[in-house]
Amino acid sequence: MASRENRRSVTYAPDIVDTGSSNESVFPSPETHTHTHTTTRGPRHGSHAAANIIAQLPSHQPFSDTHLTVSRARSLSHQSRSSLRRRSTMRTTLTRGPTSRVPTSGLGVDLVDSAVEVEDEEMNWRRRQTIKDMTTSLTLKKHFRDRLKSSPTTKLSGYEKWKLNRSVEWERFKVRFKDALSNLEVWRGSFKEVEGHFGTGIMSYFRFVKWIFFLNVYIAVITFCVITLPHLILEPHDFLATVAVTPSSSQQAGDNMTNVTMTTESLTTLTMTTVIVVIDNGTSSSNDTSGGTAALSGNTDYVGQAQECTLDYRVHLQNKSMNATPGDYILDFLQGTGFMEDTILFYGQYFNKTFLDKQTVYNMSLAYLLATAAYFLLSLILMVRSAAKGFQENLVTSGDRFFQYTNMVFTGWDYALASEKAGELKKKNLFQEIKNELEEERRAQRAATRTTGQKCRLYTVRVLSNILVVGILGGSFYGIFRVVDFSEKEITNRNTDDFVSLLLQYLPSITITLLNIIVPEIFNRIIMVEKYSPEFEIRLSLIRTVFLRLTSIGVLLVSIYVAIVSCRQKKCGNCNFPNDPYLCWETYVGQQIYKLVILDFLVVAGVTIFAEFPRKLLVTRFHKNKLMKLVGQQEFDIPKNVLDVVYTQTLCWLGAFFSPLIPAITVLKCFILFYLKKWSLMKNCIPASKPYRAARSNFFFMVVLLLGFAFTAVLPIGVCIGMIKPSQSCGPFRLYSAQNFVMYTTITNLVSTAPSEVQQAFYVFGSTVFHIPVVIVLSIAIYYNTAITSGHKKMMKLLEEQLALEGKDKQFLLNRVNEAIQRGELRASDTDVMASDSN
Amino acid sequence: MGGSDSKFDEQELEDYQELTYFTKKEILHVHKRFTQLAPDLVEVDKNATLPQDKIMMLPELRVNPFKDRICKVFSSSGDGSMSFEDFLDMMSVFSDNAPKNVKVEYAFRIYDFDEDDMISSNDLKEVIDRLTGEQRLGEEDMQQLIDNIFSEVDLDGDENLSYAEFEHVMSKAPDFTNSFRIRL
């Protein structure tokens, strides 16, 4: 059948066999590997025979008949399985031995001829798809492919053929799609630059920024198209005009209503006419200041309320921006007040649109809620997808310390490095790391185990430091709370627009930012005394810092909540303060978040430009100075920067509800941040001295992002939609439809207008009768998956042990054969498998 | 990237796309980098064979301690010189899209210095020496390190790393795919 002289077997050249004595590494040339060579050469001593036999073991044969037919038979029986399995069987048959890249003729003959002669088209095509994974040279691959193409195949017909054609088309489409997609890839050159100089670890940060950038682009597109664009385009452009022809108000509307001029410049005339109209209609515009709605029997004039509140708000805004100076404009831009307040930046501007003639409504409230749900869902899906990829990797790796040294050596070198300096540094780092690990191990072996007294002391220290950490966190949260309170009161007391007022406005944000800078440093000092292992140390300090950052936003929100919701006096759904009534609390929240966003950007940019650059100049200029040596060169601190990005994104999610343009602002921020950080990295930083384990940490950061998403974005917005009454003077929800109107009521109103089957379905999905079984089923699924995973782990251990035992068996048998040959009971040629091979 | 369009016809690009993990655009980009190594040689023959020292001028390879092994493993003539197809194959294995098992296989070949299908302690010693660069580990340190590695990985205790054992470890290593990657 197959030509024997073309088989390549890996043999040990005689010199190498002496494993103990000589250390020379011989590079065997292909000529010594011919088959005939080993049979004619007699054994010089027993180990030659051993080498002989080892060379003939099936696992060392790249293209042996039996091996091929066995695996081919296996693959044929698994025709319906995925090509992945076929790929692996292909691989084991074709790729043993380092010399298999050298092309020889006739190898293709082995592959095709030895098994079933004719296969169908689909098998042929699938085999061609797996040629990519062959670890041979390109010429050989071409050779195989041509052989596969030209080998006879049975033609398929009918359904099978159609299926095959679909698969082929789909593969082609995927390739074309990928090609087109690669045109859109941004920042490719920057990634290459960063990777070449600093390695893959730091590049993972920039990939993260790019991922966040695109996420924000999608969110911004959603909010713009669904909320802002219709608002800008569709008539009418003023809330009061819409109210004029809403059906609910038709019973009150006299003809006078329609005569009202709808320009915002003529505010006074507007006020006058509307007031007249309201009085004319004789409806009791429930204008009570005693906390909300009139005690009329379900016939309350929500429209009137909304109208009046809107007017009040407008007057208030007009008054405020009466004497605006240019300086005021800048302050307003930074604070989001004044002229900025009544723009599309904030929630307050939007309202339900009604076409004056056709009575159709662009239900802005519904659009608002649906857009929010859409971008939350999109973010969730993208995040889970990204985390799942990392999680799969984590599941396979069973703990970093286990293969510690092997990983250090075999995955230590970062192949992407391209600069001399980085290469030298990497070598130094590896050397240091290896030395440290060995030293650590020796020390641990030498030192006696910790005495009970020492252990006790260590644990006490740990408990105390944890209490201290909790105390510091609690203290900072209380501090934020007090500061917010204080700044509220001061602002309402002052009511002037000057720089001090600006400072007061920004006081909560500044406090939070300062705490975010100082407290992590304190945590770093504390964790040094706790003497954890390095991995755990990093994790723990990250967890603490993350906790601080996210809950500080939470505290801010809570304090705002307290200010908005729990006050005694309420007018138009807002709390009423003597001097500065929050006539629109949603806009107020939006402004706070806007300030946080701006401040965050300024701080990050400022620190980069004004702290890192001078530091580098100083350290390089005065590098002989002891103090400068202590400060040291700047290293790019990945965890801190990633947390910054997570913080930015959380603010974006939170703010998008109250200020639909914040995602666009965040897009801009990400863009500028990318280039700023890259510039700072290339100019100011040196490569890291400790290696950064990218895979594990990326998964961890995605988890942190998910946590921030769930607790600091979805939860507050959910509370806001479901439990707090919207204000009646601004926003798409100003028209109440019932006494206890919350934003979510829009949805229930919509459902109640749907056919009864839909309503029924809705009620079923919302009820507990549905939820409890779902929870039970999900819990069972989770438990089942956990059980499977632990089963796999056990299986892996078993297989490892089996592998070890098999290896030992092999050694044992080889030794016996060796002894037998030496004793003369067996001749070397008897062990020659090839001779006895029957064809 | 558009300039070298004329060098390859559609069929050749299709072929390369089918046999590697690259898209057409990426293949052309790889050829551009290849041309930059020795413009005069490649002008004549687009699939020219460049000698080893020219290949090692590539920035990513120049700084790599295993550059000679890489050239040797991927060279179809076995002496380290590479044609364009070898170069393309090499970049394809090092790209993002190559599956882990292919990378593991080639990594094993690169680290197997004496090409006996096993990573012996001599091979390991060579790997470690190259990784640490000018600073060498002392005898005692080196022996301890090698012993540690074998105790972690060598399942059958024969003081050699077979391919199965190597694959077993690397499939669990989280950072292997990240580090065994060159992007052009």
pLDDT at A111 > cutoff 50: no
Count of other CB atoms within 10 angstroms of residue A497? 21
Q: How far apart are alpha carbons A394 and B73 in whole angstroms?
A: 31
Band (pLDDT 50/70/90 cuts) for residue A674 is very high
Q: How far apart are alpha carbons A343 and A350 in whole angstroms?
A: 9
As a whole number, mean pLDDT of residues A745-767 equals: 84
- The amino acid that residue B146 corresponds to is I
pLDDT at A152 > cutoff 80: no
pLDDT at A697 > cutoff 80: no
Which of these ranges, A293-302, A439-448, B65-74, has the smallest mean pLDDT?
Answer: A293-302
Q: Which residues numbered 460-519 in A keep a CB inside 8 Å of some CB on B?
A: none
Write down how long chain B is.
184
A430 touches chain B (CB under 8 A): yes
CB contact under 8 Å between B179 and A413, yes or no, is: yes
Q: Which of B85, B106, B145 sits opposite A135 (nearest CB)?
A: B106
CB contact under 8 Å between A694 and B64, yes or no, is: no
pLDDT at A631: 63
Count of other CB atoms within 10 angstroms of residue A180? 11
Q: Helix B24-37 to helix B10-19 angle, to the nearest 10 degrees?
A: 100
Q: Which residues numbered 751-810 in A keep a CB inside 8 Å of some CB on B?
A: 800, 803-804, 806-808, 810
Residue the block writes with tokens 């250390």: A23
Residues on chain B touching A137 (C-beta within 8 angstroms): 74, 76, 85-86, 89
CB contact under 8 Å between B178 and A415, yes or no, is: no
Encoded tokens for A1: 């059948």
Residues on chain A touching B169 (C-beta within 8 angstroms): 403, 406-407, 410
Residues on chain A touching B102 (C-beta within 8 angstroms): 133, 135
DSSP for A124-183, please give it.
HHHHHHGGGG--S-HHHHHHHHHHHHHS-EEPP-HHHHHHHHHHHHHHHHHHHHHHHHHH
CB contact under 8 Å between A416 and B15, yes or no, is: no
> Nearest-CA distance from A689 to chain B in Å?
14
Looking at chain B, which residue has its C-alpha nearest residue A140? B76
Residues on chain B touching A792 (C-beta within 8 angstroms): none
Q: Which of B19, B76, B159 sits opposite A131 (nearest CB)?
A: B19
Identify the CATH assignment for B11-94 out of 1.10.1530.10, 1.10.287.310, 1.10.238.10, 1.10.10.60: 1.10.238.10
pLDDT tens readout for residues B142-177: 998 999 888 888 877 778 888 888 888 888 777 788
pLDDT at A257: 36
Of residues A296 and A806, more confidently modeled: A806
Q: Which of A142, A175, A423 sits opposite B63 (nearest CB)?
A: A423
Percent residues over pLDDT 70 in chain A: 68
| CA-wise closest residue to B80 among B109, B49, B118, B113 | B49
Residue the block writes with tokens 């990426």: B26
Q: How far apart are alpha carbons B88 and B30 in whole angstroms?
A: 7
As a whole number, mean pLDDT of residues A809-838 equals: 72
Identify the CATH assignment for B100-180 out of 1.20.1200.10, 3.40.640.10, 3.40.190.10, 1.10.238.10: 1.10.238.10
User: What letter does residue A101 receive in the DSSP assignment?
Assistant: G
> Nearest-CA distance from B75 to chain A in Å?
8
A161 touches chain B (CB under 8 A): no
CB B108 within 8 A of CB B44: no
Of residues A774 and A291, more confidently modeled: A774
- Domain extent listing, chain B: 11-94, 100-180
As a whole number, mean pLDDT of residues A399-424 equals: 79
Evaluate whether B11-94 and B100-180 have a shared fold: yes
As a whole number, mean pLDDT of residues B58-82 equals: 88
Residues on chain B touching A62 (C-beta within 8 angstroms): none
Task: Answer positive or negative: Cα dihedral of B146, B148, B151, B152.
Answer: negative
Residues on chain A touching B14 (C-beta within 8 angstroms): none
CB contact under 8 Å between A406 and B59, yes or no, is: no
Of residues A95 and A363, more confidently modeled: A363
Q: Which residues numbered 32-91 in B keep a CB inside 8 Å of some CB on A?
A: 59-60, 62-66, 73-78, 85-86, 88-89
Of residues A399 and A528, more confidently modeled: A528
Q: Which of A25, A131, A394 sits opposite B114 (nearest CB)?
A: A25
Q: Which of A423, A442, A807 sits opposite B157 (nearest CB)?
A: A807
Q: How far apart are alpha carbons B147 and B159 in whole angstroms?
A: 9
Give the CA angle between residues A582, A583, A588 to the nearest 5°.
55
ipTM: 0.89
**At a CB cut-off of 8 Å and minimum separation 6, what does B63 contact?**
A417, A418, A419, A420, A422, A423
pLDDT tens readout for residues A356-408: 556 667 788 888 899 999 999 999 999 998 888 777 766 655 544 567 788 88
CB contact under 8 Å between A418 and B168, yes or no, is: no
Q: Which of B99, B102, B179 sits opposite A415 (nearest CB)?
A: B179
Task: Answer positive or negative: Cα dihedral of A676, A681, A683, A684.
Answer: positive
Band (pLDDT 50/70/90 cuts) for residue A782 is very high
CB contact under 8 Å between A693 and B157, yes or no, is: no
Of residues A77 and A828, more confidently modeled: A828
CB contact under 8 Å between B133 and A12, yes or no, is: no
User: What letter does residue B95 receive in the DSSP assignment?
Assistant: S
Of residues A176 and B6, more confidently modeled: A176
Which of these ranges, A190-194, A439-443, A508-512, A660-664, has the smallest mean pLDDT?
Answer: A439-443
Residue to substitute from B117, B151, B154, B170, interface A, most A β-carbons within 10 A: B117
DSSP for A438-477, please give it.
HHHHHHHHHSPPPPHHHHHHHHHHHHHHHHHHHHHHHHHH
Residues on chain B touching A96 (C-beta within 8 angstroms): 117
Of residues A636 and A86, more confidently modeled: A636
Residues on chain A touching B172 (C-beta within 8 angstroms): 396-398, 402-403
As a whole number, mean pLDDT of residues A149-173 equals: 83
pLDDT at A653: 93
Distance of CA A265 to the CA centre of its chain: 48
Residues on chain A touching B93 (C-beta within 8 angstroms): 135
Looking at chain A, which residue has its C-alpha nearest residue B173? A397
DSSP for A351-410, please give it.
--EE-TTT--EE-HHHHHHHHHHHHHHHHHHHHHHHHHHHHHHHHHS--TTTTHHHHHHH
pLDDT at A244: 59
CB A631 within 8 A of CB A612: no
User: What letter does residue A753 receive in the DSSP assignment?
Assistant: T
Of residues A692 and A362, more confidently modeled: A362
Report phi then psi at A824, rounded to 5: 90, 5
> Nearest-CA distance from B115 to chain A in Å?
6
pLDDT at A6 > cutoff 70: no
Residues on chain B touching A697 (C-beta within 8 angstroms): none
CB contact under 8 Å between A418 and B169, yes or no, is: no
User: Which residues sit opposite A634 in a β-bridge?
Assistant: A685
- Looking at every residue in chain A, the average pLDDT score rounds to 72
pLDDT tens readout for residues A470-526: 999 999 889 888 888 888 777 777 766 667 777 777 888 788 888 888 888 888 888
Helix (H, G, I), strand (E, B) or coil at B159: coil
Q: Which of B113, B120, B128 sits opposite A409 (nearest CB)?
A: B128
